[in-house]
């Protein structure tokens, strides 16, 4: 909080020096609350009945202050800068492996070593059990604590005591490196004509990566490009500009950022020659596509350069800037709203009220404005990018979410690896031993209720609170009996829904992450439906 107070005090001094009534009023208000805050903190420190955790309440005060503005303005203290930088760059110092800890009193399991990572080169494999990290037993450590001990400065060595999958226990020294998680997660042909790029984040250099991916796919015969931005929460604005630059003429406006102060408007244009202004482009979006994803899809839609397919995007039309603070802290602060080339602001009219999946709720046309694309098509603002063709993603049952979030599928994949030395190549592998999974999952504790049964249980509680249970006892009993289903039976009922998740978890442990994406594509109904949509024409 000391950092924030210095900023506030400096701002107050600045406003006092300006001979303007409103400025003086604002500076007085700021100075007043700085004084009140300091007085409260001093009195608490002097009089509060218990020992005062000053750091904790100061951080709570800062977070509460910033939360009153918007969800994206955040304070990042020095100790959190590395995690924050990882979000921006997709890099960290470590061994390059995902770990799994099913029990806090157990050991750590190597879940997924990244391809070509220090962990993979050191011979660590899925199912290996880490007994100690630099001599510190993993018993009692949380998964996060174990991960933190494995991370560190690139070039340093961490020694893992490992019980190998086949039984022997060895010490494995691993030299940490700068691990870069790829933002472009997958590049390949879907068929003879359609090239596919899966982009996860807009991190530094991703525009060049997309350029390289385009050339790779053209050499393979690509006639149409599919750019998948589903679930892509955004990132660096300049990289969004770089990607749009690949497909529209040099000098085209991509996005305009407008701040509060007069003269703060900044126009971002393409500054390089495009690689292709003719190839048909399909962009896949959903409610998780936000910020830079909306800049790319919005700009290419405005120029009638791409066909947008999927569901309406998140609706984050705000620009954040990073400001340095004292003691190596940082402030990520919203400084502007951005507008697509047609003039649309994709910011949701009310970002504090959304659907359960994070998507923008219903917005009547009377609250939005109409804009026109290059070739005269009508588009609207007010809440994300509305696709040219609405194609909904697959809906999953409550059971699937429970299996995934409780780690049942992940644990089964580890069991499978322990029992199978190898599997067929990815495109030939199909999981066939579903009864083995049923037996495994049925023995585990997790909430396997159907959505209907969960609603029924909530209804029973409400009826009990209202004193109506006895009045509807016979009806409740009959309904409960019809909804009752044992765990194994319900798992078998959802077999077709569960198998794709099992296959993906298994193949990544033999063939790494790209193999998992290949399995995901195999079952991606929304992607396959998107390929059937006609290109935008004029």
DSSP state string for 492-526: HHTHHHHHHHHHHHHHHHHH-HHHHHHHHHHT-HH
Report pLDDT digits (tens) over 118-162.
999 999 999 899 999 999 999 888 888 999 999 999 999 999 999
Residues ≥6 apart with Cβ < 8 Å to 509: 111, 112, 126, 127, 413, 414, 417
- The pLDDT score that the predictor gives to residue 11 is 36
Within a domain: residue 328? Answer: no
Report pLDDT digits (tens) over 509-521.
999 999 999 999 9
Say yes or no: 374 and 407 in one domain.
no
User: Could you tell me whether strands 129-133 and 266-269 are parallel, antiparallel, or unpaired per DSSP bridges?
Assistant: unpaired
d(CA 379, CA 385): 9
In the block, tokens 């961490």 appear at: 158
Say yes or no: 292 and 368 in one domain.
yes
Which of 147, 316, 342, 524 is catalytic? The answer is 316
Within a domain: residue 471? Answer: no
- Asked whether the predicted pLDDT for residue 3 surpasses 90, the reply is no
| Residue 302 annotated as catalytic | yes
Say yes or no: 38 and 15 in one domain.
yes
Say yes or no: 135 and 157 in one domain.
yes
- Asked whether the predicted pLDDT for residue 492 surpasses 90, the reply is yes
Tell me the backbone φ, ψ of residue 161, rounded to 5 degrees: -90, 115
Within a domain: residue 297? Answer: yes
Tokens of 316: 């984050």
* C-alpha closest to that of 275 among 212, 227, 189: 212
Domain boundary among the residues 180, 203, 233 is at 180
Within a domain: residue 239? Answer: yes
Report pLDDT digits (tens) over 289-323.
999 999 999 999 999 999 999 999 999 988 888 89
User: Could you tell me whether strands 129-133 and 318-325 are parallel, antiparallel, or unpaired per DSSP bridges?
Assistant: unpaired
Say yes or no: 246 and 107 in one domain.
no
Say yes or no: 252 and 345 in one domain.
yes
Domain boundary among the residues 180, 213, 240 is at 180
Residues ≥6 apart with Cβ < 8 Å to 256: 265, 266, 267, 268, 338, 339
| Residue 101 annotated as catalytic | no
The answer to whether 352 and 68 have CB atoms below 8 angstroms apart is: no
Within a domain: residue 6? Answer: yes
The confidence band for 15, taking pLDDT boundaries of 50, 70 and 90, is: very low
Say yes or no: 381 and 516 in one domain.
no
Domain boundary among the residues 140, 161, 180 is at 180
Report in angstroms the alpha-carbon separations of 238 from 91, 203, 232. Answer: 19, 9, 16
| CATH value at residue 167 | 2.30.42.10
Within a domain: residue 165? Answer: yes
Domain boundaries, position 278:
184-320+335-390
Within a domain: residue 310? Answer: yes
Within a domain: residue 473? Answer: no
* C-alpha closest to that of 145 among 90, 107, 179, 178: 107
* Ramachandran assignment for 291, one of left (phi > 0), alpha (psi -120 to 50 degrees), beta (any other): left
Tell me the backbone φ, ψ of residue 428, rounded to 5 degrees: -105, -15
Cβ count within 10 A of residue 502: 21
Say yes or no: 245 and 125 in one domain.
no
Helix and strand element counts for the chain (H, E) = 18, 21
Per-residue b or e along 92-109, where b marks 16 or more CB atoms closer than 10 Å to that residue's CB: bbbbbbbbbbeeeeebbb
| CATH value at residue 345 | 3.90.226.10
Say yes or no: 247 and 267 in one domain.
yes
The answer to whether 130 and 107 have CB atoms below 8 angstroms apart is: yes
Say yes or no: 406 and 493 in one domain.
yes
Number of domains in the chain: 4
| Residue 297 annotated as catalytic | no
d(CA 95, CA 110): 11
- The pLDDT score that the predictor gives to residue 366 is 64
Say yes or no: 231 and 378 in one domain.
yes
Q: Distance between the two ends of the chain, CA-based, in angstroms?
A: 56
Tell me the backbone φ, ψ of residue 276, rounded to 5 degrees: -165, 115
Say yes or no: 25 and 98 in one domain.
no
Report pLDDT digits (tens) over 246-284.
999 999 999 999 988 777 799 999 999 999 999 999 999
Which of 291, 297, 342, 359 is catalytic? The answer is 291
- Asked whether the predicted pLDDT for residue 2 surpasses 80, the reply is no
Angle at 425 between CA 422 and CA 430, to 5 degrees: 85
- Mean of the per-residue pLDDT values of the chain: 88
């Amino acid at each position: 909080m000391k950092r924030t107070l210095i900023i506030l005090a400096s701002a107050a001094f600045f406003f006092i020096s300006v001979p303007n009534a409103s400025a003086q009023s604002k500076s007085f208000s700021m100075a007043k609350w700085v004084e009140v805050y300091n007085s409260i903190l001093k009195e608490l420190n002097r009089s509060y009945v218990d020992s005062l955790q000053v750091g904790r309440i100061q951080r709570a005060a800062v977070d509460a202050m910033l939360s009153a503005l918007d969800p994206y303005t955040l304070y990042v203290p020095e100790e959190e800068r590395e995690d924050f930088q990882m979000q921006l760059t997709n890099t960290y110092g470590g061994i390059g492996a995902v770990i799994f800890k099913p029990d806090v009193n157990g050991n750590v399991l190597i879940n997924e070593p990244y391809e070509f990572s220090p962990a993979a080169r050191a011979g660590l494999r899925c199912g290996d059990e880490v007994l100690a990290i630099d001599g510190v037993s993993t018993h009692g450590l949380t998964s996060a604590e174990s991960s933190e001990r494995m991370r560190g400065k690139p070039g340093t060595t961490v020694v893992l005591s490992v019980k190998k999958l086949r039984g022997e226990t060895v010490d494995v020294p691993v030299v940490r490196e700068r691990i870069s998680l790829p933002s472009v997660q997958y590049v390949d042909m879907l068929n003879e004509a359609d090239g596919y790029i899966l982009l996860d984040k807009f991190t530094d250099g991703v525009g060049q990566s997309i350029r390289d991916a385009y050339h790779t796919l053209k050499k393979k015969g690509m006639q149409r490009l599919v750019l998948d931005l589903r679930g892509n929460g955004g990132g660096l604005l300049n990289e969004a500009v770089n990607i749009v630059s690949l497909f529209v003429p040099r000098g085209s406006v991509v996005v305009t950022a407008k701040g509060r102060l007069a003269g703060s408007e900044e126009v971002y244009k393409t500054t390089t020659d495009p690689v292709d202004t003719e190839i048909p482009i399909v962009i896949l979006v959903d409610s998780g596509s936000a910020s830079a994803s909306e800049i790319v899809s919005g700009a290419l839609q405005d120029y009638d350069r791409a066909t947008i397919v999927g569901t309406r995007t998140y609706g984050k039309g705000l620009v954040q800037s990073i400001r340095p603070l004292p003691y190596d802290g940082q402030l990520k602060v919203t400084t502007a709203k951005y507008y697509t080339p047609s003039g649309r602001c994709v910011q949701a009219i009310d970002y504090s009220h959304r659907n359960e999946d994070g998507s923008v709720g219903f917005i009547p046309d009377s609250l939005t404005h109409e804009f026109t694309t290059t070739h005269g098509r009508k588009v609207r603002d007010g809440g994300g990018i509305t696709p040219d063709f609405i194609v909904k993603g697959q809906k999953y049952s409550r059971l699937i979410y429970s299996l995934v979030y409780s780690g049942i599928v992940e644990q089964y994949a580890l069991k499978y690896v322990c029992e199978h030395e190898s599997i067929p190549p990815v495109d030939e592998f199909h999981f066939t031993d579903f009864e083995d999974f049923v037996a495994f999952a049925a023995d585990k504790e997790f909430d396997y209720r159907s959505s209907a049964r969960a609603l029924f249980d909530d209804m029973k509680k409400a009826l009990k609170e209202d004193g109506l249970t006895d009045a509807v006892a016979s009806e409740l009993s009959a309904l409960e009996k019809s909804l009752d289903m044992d765990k194994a039976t319900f798992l078998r009922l959802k077999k077709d829904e569960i198998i794709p998740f099992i296959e993906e978890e298994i193949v990544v442990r033999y063939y790494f992450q790209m193999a998992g994406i290949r399995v995901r594509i195999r079952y991606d109904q929304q992607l396959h439906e998107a390929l059937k949509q006609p290109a935008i024409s004029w």
